Amino acid sequence: MQQESIYNLIPKEYVPPPKEPMYRSAYPSNLVPTASTFNNHTTSRPKINNINGDYELVKGPHSHKGQSNSLGRPKGSYKPDTTMFRLKNTGTMGSNQLPDIQSYKYPPSIKPQVPKKDEKPIHGLKSNKNFIITNAVENILSAPKQIVEDVPWTQKNDYGKVPDYLTKIKQSIASEYQIIRNMHISEAEEMDKQKYLLSQEEVQQLKEGLKKKWESVNKEYQSITHIRMIDTVGLKRKKEQCEKELAQLEKDIEKLNKNYVFVDTQK
């Protein structure tokens, strides 16, 4: 940022930026555009000219003319083949016989036929019918229209009843709930089958094994705790491991003190 100064009030002299050199294309101005019809303004049958981009730059050996840069076959290949001409009975009729012109029937015309020159329209037709009196007589003699009164809602047969579609929806929802309930019951029964009750002898054997394991871990733990200073990482980890094992063994022994002990085979 510029600092505040009184010299900033003096207008500065405008220095125009340097002008860049004029762009000049590497192609001549009278070159025919590639695949264009702009140069066909003097003919009544225009066609696309300079398909291959026939021009080479002067500055380098690179050529802008490719071998297959065209929108069709090479020049001169569009001449007709003298051997490929229409043979007899090779038209689009699909058969060797010409259609029967006499049996052909034109479709019926939708528009009415044009009247002939000797058919003259009838003019001067008049009627003595009194349309007012005729209309009045027809209305007097006509039978009155029967007015159908709507039955009140309270007197209809289905008034106050649950619609049929709601009953069907309730039944479908109840069936879905019953299917889900049966699935839960079957899963619970399957889980109950996977559990079995331990006998008192088996429980006692487990208790004795856990107590022996607890005594061995406790003996090792006591040997570590009597050390005056635990200054190594190995002793600290061993002490923490012993504490975790002792806590887990005490929880397992507490579970075996229940009256009934079940074993889950899935876990």
Is residue 267 within 8 A of residue 197, CB to CB? The reply is no
Q: What pLDDT digit, counting tens, does each position of 14-52 carry? A: 889 999 999 888 777 777 677 776 655 555 656 666 666
pLDDT level of residue 87 (50, 70, 90 thresholds): confident
pLDDT level of residue 166 (50, 70, 90 thresholds): very high
Residue 209 CA to residue 39 CA, distance in Å, equals 106
Mean pLDDT of 148-154: 81
Question: Which pLDDT does position 55 carry in this prediction?
Answer: 61
DSSP-assigned beta bridge partners for residue 264: 195
pLDDT level of residue 66 (50, 70, 90 thresholds): very low
Question: Which pLDDT does position 267 carry in this prediction?
Answer: 61
Indicate whether 104 pLDDT > 60.
yes
Give the distance from CA 117 to its chain's centroid. Answer: 68
Task: Kindly provide the residue ranges of all beta strands, DSSP E only, lying in 17-101, ordered along the sequence.
Answer: none
Looking up tokens 């309270």, which residue turns up? 154
Phi, psi of 103 (to 5 degrees): -85, -5
Indicate whether 91 pLDDT > 60.
yes
pLDDT level of residue 58 (50, 70, 90 thresholds): very low
Question: Which pLDDT does position 38 carry in this prediction?
Answer: 65
pLDDT level of residue 177 (50, 70, 90 thresholds): very high
Task: Kindly provide the residue ranges of all beta strands, DSSP E only, lying in 105-258, ordered along the sequence.
Answer: 195-197
pLDDT, averaged across the chain: 78
Is residue 35 within 8 A of residue 26, CB to CB? The reply is no
Find the angle CA(175)-CA(181)-CA(183) to the nearest 5 degrees: 105
Residue 214 CA to residue 116 CA, distance in Å, equals 127
Question: Which pLDDT does position 61 carry in this prediction?
Answer: 43
In this predicted structure, which of 37-51, 176-190, 213-227 has the lowest mean pLDDT? 37-51
Residue 141 CA to residue 164 CA, distance in Å, equals 48
Find the angle CA(27)-CA(32)-CA(36) to the nearest 5 degrees: 125
Q: Give the residue from 95, 96, 126, 262 showing the smallest Cα distance to 193.
A: 262
Both structure tokens of 51: 């398909």
SS3 assignment, position 121:
coil
Question: Which pLDDT does position 181 carry in this prediction?
Answer: 94
Both structure tokens of 108: 């019926």
Indicate whether 228 pLDDT > 60.
yes
pLDDT level of residue 64 (50, 70, 90 thresholds): very low
Is residue 239 within 8 A of residue 227, CB to CB? The reply is no
The b/e string for 239-259 (b: 16+ C-beta within 10 A; e otherwise) is beebeebbeebeeeeeeeeee
Residue 90 CA to residue 80 CA, distance in Å, equals 18
pLDDT level of residue 221 (50, 70, 90 thresholds): confident
Number of residues that make up the chain: 267
Task: Out of 53-62, 89-98, 156-165, give the one with best mean pLDDT.
Answer: 156-165
Reported pTM? 0.28
Side-chain half-sphere exposure of 207, counting CA atoms within 13 A: 14
